[in-house]
Amino acid sequence: MRILLAAAAAVSATLFSTPPLLAQTAAPSGDAGLVARGAYLAKAADCAACHRAELADGKPYVGGYAIASPMGNIIAPNITPSKTAGIGQWSFADFDRAMRKGERPDGGKLYPAMPYTDYQGISDADMHALYAYFMQGVQPVDTVTPKTHLPFPFNLRVIMAPWNWLFRSNKPFTAASGLDPQAQRGQYLVETLGHCGSCHTPRNLLMAEESAKALSGADVAGWHAPNITSDPISGVGGWSQPEIVDYLRNGHVTGKGVAAGGMGEAVENSLRYLTQPDLAAIAAYLKASKPVRDPAETKPAFAWTQVRPVPLSAYETGDSHDQAALAKSDTTDGALLYANGCASCHGLDGKGTKDGFYPPLLGSSTTGAANPANLVMTILNGVDREGADSHSFMPRFATQMNDDQVAAVANHVLATFGRPDRKVTAAMVADARHGGGKPLLLTLMPWLFGLGALVLVAIAYLGLRRPRRRQVA
């Protein structure tokens, strides 16, 4: 029971978007070289995504940003080298222990919102470089971050001890057998610094990543991080290696998909800064990873390329084709909503623009996905992403359309350009607005509390009865 409760603390809802601190590109020698190396690794590990200030213009790593978790907000601490407010007094051993074991110098346990279960496998050399960077390359800021206050029982940090005992590995990173050196490098980046599994790997009832199903897809805060194993149907086996590299650098591959939500932020804050060899290594590893197939799937998401015709009259509004009109209208006619809100960029025929800048909605991993979550989330939240070479922007429709309208336009897109056997309901849209369904464990929480209370009552009852019986006897 306690372990179950402890485990709930393991949810890490990751919300990213911070103006990145540029990695130093010069190659100085000695200590400066180590610091520059650490700056690059901090980019690869996306430390700034979580350890950012509460306000967008805050200093890097000053913390204060509240990471939403189903148990409540977890505040990312100040990790600048400030001696009073940050980690300026920490030795290398202290830093290493927090990064690998999730334990502070005072013994306090960290919540796994800090991805220490992934960082655990970082090499010693890389850990030293990261430490050198955080001590010498980051500007100290003396702003104390507010404390995290989760409700009982999650406020008892000691409950992380049994969870760590069950789920935290102590083994150094080991490359899978049979991989060439490039793919081995990729596996290292994916499993440790890149912590890709924190979004792409499904979690068990205790909210720990299920290693047997590594990278086979999981729900994160309303989005679905798809299967990125090498399987040609359920995963990215049908993407070429250069396509994957392009996706990671720019978040956009015409005919495959675009990166929005947490992935757009991973591209913007982290992946676009990686070197070409490191991106190629990640792609090589994904292509060589253990395939995981969903037996219900028959073709890859991007292979839904057929346009199903809609009579032109269905698009006729009689009114103006603009978004302001859309905001005022209460129509739930999906074709009309599409004509007014989407066709100016994606085309009535869903083919986008020739250069792919406005992407096609057929042959896209979003509209052909078995799970329409990303379609709904893209309509609600739009896209705003800085890639290595380009900036992508689609407006958000969350305030312009109600749940019924979002469902209607999504269903029009699915029926006309994507997977016609998938349907979106207004209830799904309402759920998506609140960050998606809760993990099973939290849905079960009231029951667990109920069960726990029953067990306690039973123990107390037996405990009280026994001595009395003995007294009587």
In degrees to the nearest 10, what's the CA dihedral of 71, 72, 73, 79?
Answer: -40
Single residue of 21, 34, 39, 110 touching ligand HEC by CB under 6 A: 110
Taking the complex as a whole, how short is the minimal distance between the CB of residue 463 and ligand HEC, in angstroms? Answer: 35
Rule CB under 6 A: say whether 70 interacts with ligand HEC: no
The helix/strand/coil state of 258 is strand
344 binds ligand HEC (CB under 6 A): yes
Q: Where do runs of H (alpha helix) occur along 57-180?
A: 92-101, 116-119, 124-132, 160-167
Q: Does 432 bind ligand HEC (CB under 6 A)?
A: no
The one-letter code for the residue type at 397 is: F
Contacts of ligand HEC in 41-60 (CB under 6 A): 42, 45-47, 49-51
Q: Beta strand pairing status for 66-69 and 252-253?
A: unpaired
Of 190, 207, 214, 335, the one binding ligand HEC (CB under 6 A) is 190
14 binds ligand HEC (CB under 6 A): yes
121 binds ligand HEC (CB under 6 A): no
- Binder of ligand HEC out of 80, 198, 201, 216 (CB under 6 A): 198
Strands (E), 55-110: 66-69, 72-75
In the region spanning residues 243 to 262, those forming contacts with ligand HEC, defined by CB under 6 A, are: 244, 247, 251-252, 257-262
Q: Among 371, 351, 363, 385, which residue's Cα sits nearest to residue 437?
A: 371
By CB under 6 A, tell whether 414 contacts ligand HEC.
no
**How far is it, in rounded angstroms, from Cα 64 to Cα 329?**
40
Alpha-carbon distance values, 309 to 251, 315, 335, 338, 348 (Å): 30, 12, 11, 14, 10
Q: How many Å apart are CA 245 and CA 236, to the nearest integer?
A: 12
367 contributes a contact to ligand HEC by CB under 6 A: yes
Shortest separation between residue 1's beta carbon and ligand HEC, angstroms: 22
Say whether residue 266 binds ligand HEC (CB under 6 A): yes
Q: Which tokens sit at 103?
A: 């334990």
Q: Is-cis flag, bond preceding 28, omega within 30?
A: no
Residue 16 CA to residue 149 CA, distance in Å, equals: 21
Work out which of 10, 12, 422, 432 binds ligand HEC, going by CB under 6 A.
12
Provide the token pair at 331: 């129509």
**Shortest distance in whole angstroms from residue 443 CB to ligand HEC:** 21
DSSP state of 315: G
Is 341 among the residues that bind ligand HEC (CB under 6 A)?
yes
Does residue 376 belong to the site contacting ligand HEC (CB under 6 A)?
no
User: According to CB under 6 A, which one of 159, 413, 414, 441 is a site residue for ligand HEC?
Assistant: 413
The Cα 15–Cα 25 span in angstroms is 27
Is residue 68 close enough to count as binding ligand HEC by CB under 6 A? no
C-beta of 260 vs 432, nearer to ligand HEC: 260
The residue from 21, 114, 183, 207 that contacts ligand HEC (CB under 6 A) is 114
Q: Which is nearer to ligand HEC, 219 or 452 (CB)?
A: 219
Q: Which are the contacts of 467, defined by CB distance < 8 A and separation ≥ 6?
A: none
67 binds ligand HEC (CB under 6 A): yes
**Treating both helix axes as pointing N-terminal to C-terminal, what angle do 276-288 and 241-250 enclose, rounded to 10 degrees?**
130
Binding test (CB under 6 A) with ligand HEC, winner from 150, 161, 175, 345:
345
Nearer to ligand HEC, 85 or 444 (CB): 85
